[in-house]
Structure 1
């Protein structure tokens, strides 16, 4: 199930658009998300920045000095940077890794710090607010609350690493429309049942439904056998064996096409075939246990979503 956002997080995301308009920027970047978080901290004593005793006025001044313009911007023309979209996905990933039922403002802070090729993370780092330190503080704070309340909150162990993917190239940081063909508004984007699988994999059935796959010729027997094995109640894990380039992926694409066309047994109707990119899972796992955390997060999603076939 998609995670619910707290009022604090929703306010921070809403304020980020208003901050972009106020500063004459026609885009929402990580720095605007941070400004939105700072603005929310002024009216919420439980805001993560207040708990960290961050020098919010100094952070705000440093950011505004670098991005403020004298231009007047139409709010409907403000766009969303790719890095901001990535941060928004990271919010939900952080919440799931920490076993939280709702995404909160501290998940936003962690997501901003994780995207370390940004003005926002640079300014925070100058104030000695870094990802690992903030993560440790948050876990300690949650354990303290659990101890004081005696019940209600789950006890959260300190997780040193994250399932988050490595940073993308800056050239991908192109804006997309706030309202239009490519982007939804910040407060609604990223609501997926499988955010980790979406990050590290490709939904082949979605590509098939959008007519992005080529027709498969001469593999009917293999595809039929694949569908037959997957339809079993037990021993339903087929193995495709062959040298690179012989067409193993093509067989899976053929299965996805048949699922979309409803040319399979009823058991496979509405199944999602997701191709896992092992290279992206391994990439960026600099710290011990980070790879295991990613695998664990994916297994949790697979356990909660029985309609996924993993390739």
Structure 2
């Protein structure tokens, strides 16, 4: 019913709202059921906004109380959408159009509840999550037009699929690299170039290619590096994480593009280390 214009997660949330309503024995699927389903989200922009607001638990408790006070019906057939539910979906479609998105995503559903959600809108406002604060939080978290069916899977991709080696070095979690000073200096010299600055480390397994990257991270963390590399972040890309769970066509490519887009948006402050580079070929 929702696959044509909803992201996978948004369609799943709408279905979860209907299932929650049927499980609780309610006659109508309402905007509050939709809000309850959104509160179960753990990934993506919506989850980030709810977590950073600090109101997720308080809002979840208020939603549970609201739904717990509703009468139960037995043998009444499948629950039907009420006016607030239908109005929220219509508003989500309007939010999709206004944002220039190709799909209705979970953040559109959340904003729609703050506009046309009836009791769900009241619950959000009681937790200081009105329309203005939600949109402000989403803009701050990096809201963009939704152009794929799985935007939640690529949200903050660099943080999800990368390990900041410079942060690990500052925390003392990287071992010293012995006997590779020449190779480290040469790699750093190549990285410091304006062009042709992508060194490829080639060698049999176990010779210390990954250790070389860790050695560069330790040098940057200690300030023992060219000025052009100072304050840079060396991030190791987790290829296993990128590939894991990519069950839909093009999902791995979407994740990789999201990582590269974040690296590009960093304006040169991120150096990306791709271990096992050959695994990308044909992935």
Residue of structure 1 aligned with 2:218, choices 257, 260, 278: 257
1: CA distance, partners of 2:240 / 2:249:
17
Show structure 2 runs of 5+ residues with no match. Answer: 1-15, 17-27, 54-77, 82-87, 104-147, 274-283
Is contact 2:44–2:152 with CA below 8 Å preserved after alignment? no
Q: Deviation at 1:142?
A: 5.0
Give the total of aligned pairs. 169
**Cα 1:143–1:274, aligned 2, differ >3 Å: closer, same or farther?**
same
**Structure 1 ranges of 4+ moved more than 3 A:** 52-60, 126-129, 140-147
- The one of 155, 170, 175 equivalent to 2:100 is 155
In proportion to residue count, which structure has more helix?
2
- Equivalent of residue 208 in structure 2, options 232, 247, 255: 247
**Structure 1 segments unaligned to the other structure (5+ residues):** 1-33, 35-51, 61-83, 96-102, 109-125, 130-136, 148-152, 166-193
CA distance in 2, matches of 1:197, 1:248: 22
Sort the Cα spacing of 1:163 and 1:275 in 2 relative to 1 into closer, same or farther, 3 A: farther
Does the 8 Å CA contact 2:44/2:153 hold for their aligned counterparts? no
Aligned with 2:153: secondary structure? coil
Q: 2:153: which partner in 1?
A: 164
Residue 197 of structure 2 aligns with which residue?
236
Match of 2:119 in 1: none
Give the drift of 1:160: 1.9
How far apart are the structure 2 equivalents of 1:229 and 1:275? 18
1:125-177 CA-partner distances (Å, limit 9, x unpaired): x9899xxxxxxx97x85553465xxxxx3310132224528xxxxxxxxxxxx
Between the aligned partners of 2:34 and 2:102, the Cα distance in structure 1 is 32
Distance, in Å, in 1 between the alignment partners of 2:198 and 2:102 is 34
Residue 281 of structure 1: CA displacement?
0.4
Kindly report the root-mean-square deviation, in angstroms, between the aligned alpha carbons of the 2 structures: 3.9
Of 184, 195, 199, the residue aligned with 2:160 is 199
Residue 205 of structure 1: how far off its partner (Å): 0.4
Residues 78-117 of structure 1 mapped to structure 2, 5 A cutoff: 87=42, 90-92=43-45
Higher Rg of the two aligned structures: 2
Task: Look up the match of 1:291.
Answer: 252
Measure the CA separation in 2 of the matches of 1:199 and 1:128.
Answer: 38
Give the secondary structure class of the aligned counterpart of 2:157.
helix
